[in-house]
Structure 1
Amino acid sequence: MHKPLDPDFAARVRASFHNQPAMALIGAAMPVIEPGYTEIHLPYRAEITQQHGYIHGGVVGMIADSAAGYAANTLTSADTGVLTVEYKLNLLAPAEGQLLIAEGSVVRYGRTLIVTQAEVFAVKDGKKTLCALMQQTIMALHGKKEKSEVK
């Protein structure tokens, strides 16, 4: 079990998520924020699909990246930002359904580098199918808070 350094981590992470125009653009929400774990939910929208009608792989990568990155951010101090250094995404099945759920979690928390993972599930007619698996490295940016507002 990971212990957050900031007692107000959930409010800080929620505010950061709401300050990210990319997530608003695709219609994503983050209903679950726990120490070392977050979920991003993305309802199906035709505007984010590719030529076969599946949610585009780039969009799948976006929510995996953000879910895992925010999982890391739940454990940092209030004055520390996070930035993705790299990630590896395996697309395992078409992202087809009414909803995608990206579950991000921390594998190893270090002072500078944080290793995370995300699983992305496509929910179709109530059945969850694993459609993507991601491993990620996050860099902790100590003393670098986020901008308070994106314009």
Structure 2
Amino acid sequence: MPICDAQVEQGVRASFARQGAMRLIRASLQRVEAGRAEIHLPHWEGVAQQHGFVHGGVVGMIADSAAGYAAMTVAPAGASVLTVEYKLNLMAPADGRQLIARGMVVRGGRTLIVTRAEVFAVKDGKETLCALMQQTIMVMHGKEEKPASSQ
């Protein structure tokens, strides 16, 4: 994967740290590279649905964030990003010890960034693709994120 500017990576990691939703589900930002981001989620009872798989809504959360942070790596300095839509296909049960969401930029732009994410369930060392997402991100020029204390 391409190397990301250290300042950009630091900004992405700081943004992730401000996300209470990611803390709530115990997700962690594992990789940040130019046009890419990767989020890991342990499979625990708090994210499970009635069959014991990770809930589809949680799968969507980590896909949305992984692709959104990939977009943030290509956004101009001083801008923030916001999801305006995504389409998620759940292709297999999210059944494994952990999930890995890999987000990537498909096409960057001044106003819109198109991304995709693949979510894999990891079980017995094997990755199974369980979800595929396509997303549109809006670049918000001149609009920085709120500091953690004002959220």
Counterpart of 2:45?
46
Q: TM-score, normalised by structure 2?
A: 0.95
Shift of 1:76: 1.4
Dislocated runs of 4+, deviation >4 Å: 1-4
SS in 2 for 1:120: strand
1:133 aligns with 2:143: no
Uncovered stretches (5+) of structure 2, i.e. residues with no partner:
none
Once the 2 structures are TM-superposed, how far is the Cα of residue 15 of structure 1 from its aligned partner? 0.2
Superposed CA deviations along residues 72-128 of structure 1, whole A, max 9, x for unmatched, are 001112310000010000000000010000000000000000000000000011110
In the alignment, the residues of structure 2 paired with residue 13 and residue 84 of structure 1 have an alpha-carbon distance, to the nearest angstrom, of 15
The answer on whether the counterparts of 1:3 and 1:75 sit within 8 Å (CA) in structure 2 is: no
- Secondary structure at 2:53 match in 1: coil
Taking structure 1 as the reference length, the TM-score comes to 0.95
Distance 1:143 1:37 in 2: 23
Residues 72-91 of structure 1: matches in 2 within 5 Å? Answer: 72-91=71-90
Query: Is 1:106 the counterpart of 2:105 in the alignment?
Result: yes
Ranges in structure 1 where 5+ consecutive residues have no aligned partner: none
Paired residue total: 150
Give the Cα separation in 2 of the matches to 1:65 and 1:130.
16
User: Which residue is equivalent to 2:9?
Assistant: 10
Aligned partners of 1:141, 1:8: CA distance in 2, in Å?
Answer: 19
Name the counterpart of 2:117.
118
Q: Percent identity?
A: 65
CA change 1:7–1:124 in 2 (3 A) is: closer
Partner SS, residue 121 of structure 1: strand
- How big is the alpha-carbon RMSD for the aligned residues of Structure 1 and Structure 2? 1.6
Which residue type is aligned with residue 111 of structure 1? R
